[in-house]
Amino acid sequence: MSANSGATVEDNKITFQSKHSEDLFQKISAGTARVGIIGLGYVGLPLTWTFFEKGFQVLGFDVDEEKIRHFENGTSYIRHFGLQKMSKMAESERCEATEDFSRARDVDVIIICVPTPLTENREPDMSFVKGTLNSIGPHLRQGQLVILESTTYPGTTEELVRPICEALSGLRSGDDIFFAFSPEREDPGNQDYETATIPKVVGAEGSDALLLAEKLYSTIVVETVTVSDTRTAEAVKLLENIFRSVNIALVNELKIAFQKMNIDIYEVIDAAKTKPFGFMPFYPGPGLGGHCIPIDPFYLAWKAKEFGVDMRFIELAGEINTNMPRYVISNCIDALSERGKKLKGCSVLCMGLAYKPDLDDDRESPTYVMMDLLDDKGATVDYHDPFIPVIRATREHAKWAGKASVRLNRETVSKYDLVIILTKHSKIDYGSLAEWASCVVDTRNAIPVKGNADLNHVWHS
């Protein structure tokens, strides 16, 4: 690191520009730094556990009273995050949760893990980040490190986080307070990786901040990867998810073309992935779900316009993926038409509300879009999901709040004119489902039909 950019490293001796950063570095090294996690959801809760497990004192912040109660009682509100972890944190004096954001002054490190959705116009909705900054800003003090982990557009830390914090606290970046960005890389339900075993990318404003952030994360994760600044770190997460979005759009478009040619896209993918190099399998579906992949490409496309750049390739991929629910609806209409029925007035069962298998995570689930489209076309809509017994209120699909998952048995399924498989949960017997249902549209290849004449009532979409 250059001497004129702050901290320097010479002969394994670190020299800091600021006494505050030097003091905080010593606290982090000794494991005595107090860590505050803002946002106790799918990212913040596992991160809280990881710091706690490594011996840090952790204070969680959230505006959701229910999450705070769960935290205090040691009960889990995220299915894949076990009760044992929750109870250990609840029983320990080293870990607690609060709604009082003035307590930001009590911690040495503040990590922000709040949602960054899109507006109705598909522009970044930074209201959660701004709300957090406005809540903690007046309570910031000298010697703190503030890190944003929420996925966002390049420039957020520099143009939004730092200015708001400096204005509200009167502190100066690099001298009094320090800023960094480290993109979250959580993959809910992944049995092979957890927070501690996933490398962490870190970018910061100045070398003092970078050394602090790198030291902090190196104490809890298997590897840290430092980059030149916060903009670069912010761009890393976008690339990771845009890569997936574009490739999913590709196989979605191929699925549409291959279906017209009477070619099974899944058979094509299975054969192609036998190539040991130069190919990575992606799979089609009814649309994208989760908090990242459906949203992140639009963050970059929005920011690029500020520089006069049109991200046509990325926007096209987003358009293809966004339109997949309508493609599925068209197949539903065709499937019902073969049986002399129309979608209007039909009863439809949507199988799966979670956006990925074996989770209770329904964020940005394409099933909600499907249910809205079916309802708009006059169908009666129900759903079944073993992990989501009742639909929680969402901003975009509020009308479904409180609706309960129907029982899954022959008697229930046989009453529906159409069953649409939208999530492939491992605990569901899709062979029995195919026997019980009179008409099935399968968007997840849950019921392979190639060469089986008894399954002519099952459509792949």
- Least confidently predicted of 26-30, 119-123, 312-316, 351-355: 119-123
Alpha-carbon distance values, 136 to 21, 40, 140 (Å): 20, 16, 6
pLDDT, residue 197, reads 94
Under the banding of pLDDT at 50, 70 and 90, the label for residue 164 is very high
**Residue 5 above 50 pLDDT?**
no
Same domain, 197 and 256: no
Same domain, 7 and 138: yes
Higher-confidence residue of 214 and 319: namely 214
Under the banding of pLDDT at 50, 70 and 90, the label for residue 368 is very high
Same domain, 294 and 369: yes
**Residue 310 above 80 pLDDT?**
yes
pLDDT, residue 12, reads 57
- Cα(422)–Cα(355) distance, integer angstroms: 8
pLDDT, residue 454, reads 62
Structure tokens at 290: 């989760």
Same domain, 86 and 194: yes
**Residue 162 above 80 pLDDT?**
yes
Q: Is residue 217 part of a domain?
A: yes
Same domain, 17 and 115: yes
Same domain, 377 and 416: yes
Amino acid at 358: D
Q: Is residue 180 part of a domain?
A: yes
**Residue 285's domain spans which residues?**
241-460
Q: Is residue 234 part of a domain?
A: no
pLDDT, residue 374, reads 97
Active-site residue 292, yes or no?
A: yes
pLDDT, residue 3, reads 33
Tell which of 228, 262, 297 closes a domain. 228
pLDDT, residue 102, reads 97
87 φ, ψ to 5°?
Answer: -65, -35
Same domain, 7 and 69: yes
pLDDT, residue 76, reads 86
pLDDT, residue 190, reads 79
- Looking up residue 280, the CATH number of its domain turns out to be 3.40.50.720
Residues with Cβ within 8 Å of residue 214, at least 6 apart in sequence? 202, 224, 226
- Cα(313)–Cα(290) distance, integer angstroms: 21
- Least confidently predicted of 49-53, 63-67, 390-394: 390-394
Q: Is residue 138 part of a domain?
A: yes
Same domain, 373 and 251: yes
pLDDT, residue 1, reads 39
- Cα(71)–Cα(80) distance, integer angstroms: 15
Q: What pLDDT, in 10s, does the model give residues 74-86? A: 998 887 887 899 9
Closest Cα partner for 229 from 249, 209, 199, 215? Answer: 209
> In terms of DSSP H, where are the helices of 178-229?
207-218
**Residue 11 above 50 pLDDT?**
no
**What would the mean pLDDT of 402-418 be, rounded to a whole number?**
96
Under the banding of pLDDT at 50, 70 and 90, the label for residue 363 is confident
Q: In the 8-state DSSP scheme, what is residue 155?
A: T
Residues with Cβ within 8 Å of residue 442, at least 6 apart in sequence? 421, 449, 458, 459, 460, 461
Q: Is residue 233 part of a domain?
A: no
Which among 95, 113, 165, 292 is annotated as catalytic? 292
Q: In the 8-state DSSP scheme, what is residue 403?
A: P
**Residue 2 above 60 pLDDT?**
no
Higher-confidence residue of 180 and 460: namely 180
- Least confidently predicted of 96-110, 314-328, 372-386: 314-328
Tell which of 200, 228, 256 closes a domain. 228
Percent of the chain at pLDDT > 90 equals 76
Q: What pLDDT, in 10s, does the model give residues 84-95? A: 999 999 999 999
Higher-confidence residue of 214 and 187: namely 214
Q: What pLDDT, in 10s, does the model give residues 106-118? A: 999 999 999 998 8
Q: Is residue 25 part of a domain?
A: yes
How would DSSP label each residue in 41-72? STTHHHHHHHHHHTT-EEEEE-S-HHHHHHHH
Same domain, 22 and 64: yes
Under the banding of pLDDT at 50, 70 and 90, the label for residue 168 is very high
**Residue 38 above 60 pLDDT?**
yes
Q: What pLDDT, in 10s, does the model give residues 429-449? A: 999 999 999 999 999 999 987
**Residue 452 above 70 pLDDT?**
no
Percent of the chain at pLDDT > 70 equals 95
Q: Is residue 235 part of a domain?
A: no
Question: If you average pLDDT over every residue of the chain, what do you get?
Answer: 91
Number of domains, the chain: 2
**Residue 28 above 70 pLDDT?**
yes
**Residue 50 above 90 pLDDT?**
yes
Tell which of 228, 249, 277 closes a domain. 228
**What would the mean pLDDT of 268-288 be, rounded to a whole number?**
94
Under the banding of pLDDT at 50, 70 and 90, the label for residue 40 is very high
Computed over its alpha carbons, how large is the radius of gyration of the chain? 24
Under the banding of pLDDT at 50, 70 and 90, the label for residue 4 is very low
Higher-confidence residue of 286 and 461: namely 286
Q: Is residue 168 part of a domain?
A: yes
pLDDT, residue 159, reads 97
